[in-house]
Structure 1
Amino acid sequence: MRICVVLVSLLSLGVVYTSPVLTGNVGFNIGHKRADGACKTTDDWIEDFRTIRSWSHDMVQVNTARLFSTSDCFNLKNAVPAAQATYIKIWVTIWATPKDKYIRERDELEYAIRTWGTDWIAGINVGSEHLYQGSLKPATLARYINQVKMLVKVTLGAPHIAIGCADTWTQLVSPATKIVLGVSDVVLTNGFPYWQGIPIEAAGGIFTGNFNTVKNLIPDKPIIVGETGWPSAGPSFKGGQTSVANLQRYWYDTACPLVMQGIPVFWFSAFDEPAKDGENGDVEKHFGVASVDRHLKISLNC
C-alpha cells in the first residue's frame, strides 16, 4: 500500500522521468579506501578522478565514477568537491542494509544535494546486489527506491535524476524482481563470467548473452552495465584463470563491443584495492585495470 501511495504522489505532481545520460560511455567503479586502509580524502579523490579522465581516447570517453556508498568514509562529502574540481560525474549508490545504514545513506545524499546541487550526479541506484544476497526483500527495496525518488525528484526538486536498482543478471530476470523493476527508472545489471568459472576464451560471449537476456526481458527500461571485470591476480575460480593477459582479453571482448553498441558500462574496477577483505578479498583486491599507484596494467584501446 505504501508503494502505491508513493507512486500516486509522484504521478500527481507531474514528475517526468528522463533516461540517464552518462557524460562518457565508460565509467569505473572506485572504492573509498586507500591502499593502507585509510579513508580517501578529497585530494585522493581528485587524483583518482584526474587519472580516470586521462584514460579517455577516441572511442572510450571516461567521465563518470560509480561509488558504493554515500556515508562510508564520508564518501560524498569528500568526493563531490573533487568531482566538481575535475569535471567528473558521480553515479551514486545508496547502500540499503541494514535499515539504519540506509537511512544514514539517504540523509548523506540529501545533505550533498542541498550543499552542491545535482550537476555532479550521473544517476542513483538504491541497493547493490541486495536481492541476490538475500539481504532485502523485493518489496522492501521497491519501497526504498520510491522513498529516494520522492526525496530527490520532489522534495529536492530534481525530477531529471534517474533512480533505479543494481543487481546480478540472474536476479534481474527473476519474476520476484518485477516489483523492483516497476519502480526503477534505470536498471544496472552486474555480471562476472570469472565468478561463473568460465574460461577467458568464452567469457566475452557469455557476458554478452547474459546481458541480452536482461535487455530482452526488460525492454522498457534503460539498461546499464553496473559491474563487470576480470581479476589480474589472486586465486583462479574453476575455469576462470587470473592474469593480466586475461584481464586485457576480457576488456577487448567485453568493454569494446559494449562501447561500439553504445551501451554504457561501469567497469569493476578502476584501481586495485589491497585493503579489501572478506570472503573473496584475496581476488577482489586485483580487479583494477590500474594498480594502486594508478598505473594502467592494460591498454584501454578498442
Structure 2
Amino acid sequence: MKFVHGSLPLLAVVGAVTAQAQERIYQGFNSGAFFQSNKAKVQSDFENEFNAARSLHFSPGTFSSVRLYTNIQQGTTNTPIEAFQAAINTNTSILLGIWCSGTTTISNELAALTSAIDKFGTRFTDLVVAISVGSEDMYRLSESGIANDAGIGAGPNTIVNFIRQVRTAINGTGLAQKPVGHVDSWSAWSNSSNSAVVDAVDFLGMDLYPYYESDQDNRIENAEGIFDDLYNRTLTAAGDKPVWITETGWPFEGPVSGNATATPENAKTYWDTIACKFLGRSNVWWYNLRDTNPAISEKFAVSKDVSAETTFNLTCAAGSGAPATINTDLSKGVKKSSATQLMRSVEIIGLVSVLSVVVLM
C-alpha cells in the first residue's frame, strides 16, 4: 500500500515527549531469541549483550533495558527464555514480548511467563516495564507487508483477543499493574481498520525505519523529516495513549533502499538526528546492539563484536537534550583480542619511533 505523506508539525513530537517527562524513561536495544544460524541464545549470550549495552563508549546515558520478542526459550515448548535470568543478573529492565504471528494460541507464551513469575518472583516482575502482545503482526497482513514477504501475520481481532488473554493471565500476579500493549509498524497504527487494537492497549509500540520508506525520497538528508511525519501520524492514531519507539535505526551496511544508502556515516547521522532527539525524553529501544536476525541482510549493530567498541561515535552534541555522555575511558569494555591488537599497535608505533631516533642519530 502506498501512503501519501504530508508534513505534520513538530509540536506533536514535542508534546508526546513532554507527556512522558514525569515518568521513568527507558533506553535499550532489541534482542531476538536466536542467532543468524538459528542457534538458540543462552543466558551467557544475553548477559554479554546486556553488559555490552551498558558499557558502550561515549554512550548518551545508560542503555539498561531490553525488548524481547518472546517469553519462550528457543528450542523448547514453554520454558522461560534465559534472557530473564540474564536480566536479573545484570539489573536490566525488560519490555516483554509475546509472539503472536502464525498461531491461533499463545498458551505456551503464557505458560512460560507464569512460570517465570513463579520462579523468580519480584526479582523478575520488578524489572518488567510492560508487555507487548505481538510484534508487527498487522503489518505482515497488510498490502505492503505481503509485498515485502514479511511472513505470516495476525489480524486486529486476533491481537485484541490475545491482549485479553494476557490481562487475564497476569491478574493477581506481580505483573497485574504493568501496561499491556502491542508493537507494530507506523503504517499499521495509522490504518483505521486496526483501531480496535488501539482501543485495547495501554501503549503503542512503533517501529519506524526511514531507510525502508523507498516510496519517498528517503536519502539520509530527509530521514528526520520522514521520521517526524510518520511518528506524528502514529501519535494522531494513538489519541491520548503513549507511543514508544520500539524499533528504529539506520544500517551501516546493506543494499540501496530507494534513495537510502547504508554507510557508517549515514548510521551516525541518523543517530544524531533521531536517537539524540528522543533518548532521555521517550522510551526507546534502538535497533540494534548486534545483528542476529537471519531474515535481513542489512547490518545495524551499534556494538562491534558485543563489546564497548562501537560502529560509529555515539556522542550526542551539546544542547541536543540527550543524556550526558558516559563511558569515555576507551580502555574499558573492549574484547581481549581488540585490546591485544591495540597494544600491539602501540608497541609498533613505539618501536618505529625508537628506530627513527636511531636513524637520525
TM-score (norm 1): 0.84
- In 2, the alpha carbon distance for the partners of 1:64 and 1:208 equals 24
Is residue 167 from structure 1 mapped to residue 184 from structure 2 by the alignment?
yes
**Equivalent residue, structure 2, for 1:292:** 305
Count of residue correspondences: 276
Matches within 5 A, 1:214-233: 214-233=234-253
- Name the stretch that deviates more: 176-185 or 100-109: 100-109
The answer to whether the aligner puts 1:208 opposite 2:228 as a matched pair is: yes
Partner-residue secondary structure (3-state), 1:263:
coil
| Contact residue 199 and residue 241 of structure 1 kept, 8 A | yes
The 2-side partners of 1:236 and 1:29 are apart by 24
Q: Which amino acid aligns with 1:243?
A: T
5 Å-filtered alignment, 1:190-201, equals 190-197=207-214, 198-201=218-221
Shift of 1:50: 0.8
Q: Deviations over 1:142-176 (max 9, x none)?
A: 11011101111x14253221110111111102111
**1:38 corresponds to which residue?**
39
Distance 1:76 1:194, change over 3 A: farther
**Which structure 1 segments of 5+ residues have no match?**
1-18
Instruction: Map 1:8-27; keep pairs closer than 5 Å.
Output: 24-27=25-28
Counterpart Cα distance in 1 of 2:80 and 2:94: 9
Correspondence 1:139-288 to 2 at 5 A: 139-152=157-170, 154-197=171-214, 198-259=218-279, 262-273=281-292, 276-278=293-295, 281-283=296-298, 286-288=299-301
**Could you tell me which amino acid in structure 2 is paired with residue 263 of structure 1?**
S
Deviations 1:76-132 (A, max 9, x none): 431111111111011111001233563222221121122112112111101111001
Q: What TM-score, normalized by structure 2, do the two folds share?
A: 0.71
Is the CA contact 1:164–1:184 (under 8 Å) kept in the aligned structure 2?
Answer: yes
State the secondary structure of the residue aligned to 2:132: strand
- Return the alpha-carbon distance in structure 1 between the equivalents of residues 36 and 197 of structure 2: 36
The alpha-carbon deviation at position 41 of structure 1 amounts to: 1.5
Which structure has the bigger radius of gyration?
2
- The one-letter amino acid of 1:99's match is T
Classify the secondary structure of the residue corresponding to 2:297: helix
Superposed CA deviations along residues 272-292 of structure 1, whole A, max 9, x for unmatched, are 22xx333xx222xx1111233
Identity among equivalent pairs (%): 27
The separation in 2 between residues aligned to 1:296 and 1:57, in whole angstroms, is: 9
C-alpha distance in structure 2 between counterparts of 1:264 and 1:56, whole Å: 21
Aligned to 1:63: 64
2:135 equivalent to 1:128 = yes
- Find the partner of 1:102 among 97, 102, 106: 106
Query: Which residue does 1:137 correspond to in 2?
Result: 155
SS of residue paired to 1:238:
coil
Give the Cα–Cα distance (whole angstroms) in 1 for the partners of residues 24 and 304 of structure 2. Answer: 25
**Alignment RMSD, CA only?**
2.3
In structure 2, what is the Cα distance between the partners aligned to 1:100 and 1:140?
8
Q: Distance in 1 between matches of 2:62 and 2:93?
A: 12
Change (3 A) 1:24 1:36: farther
Q: Is the 8 A contact 1:141 1:180 kept in 2?
A: yes
CA distance in 1, matches of 2:282, 2:25: 11
Distance in 1 between the 2:84 and 2:311 partners?
A: 27
- What is the CA–CA distance in structure 2 between the aligned matches of 1:290 and 1:59, rounded to whole Å? 14
Where structure 2 has 5 or more consecutive residues not aligned to the other structure, the ranges are 1-19, 142-152, 317-361
The one-letter amino acid of 2:88's match is: Q
Cross-structure match for 1:52: 53
For residues 251 and 22 of structure 1, do their structure 2 counterparts lie closer, same or farther at Cα, with a shift above 3 Å needed? farther
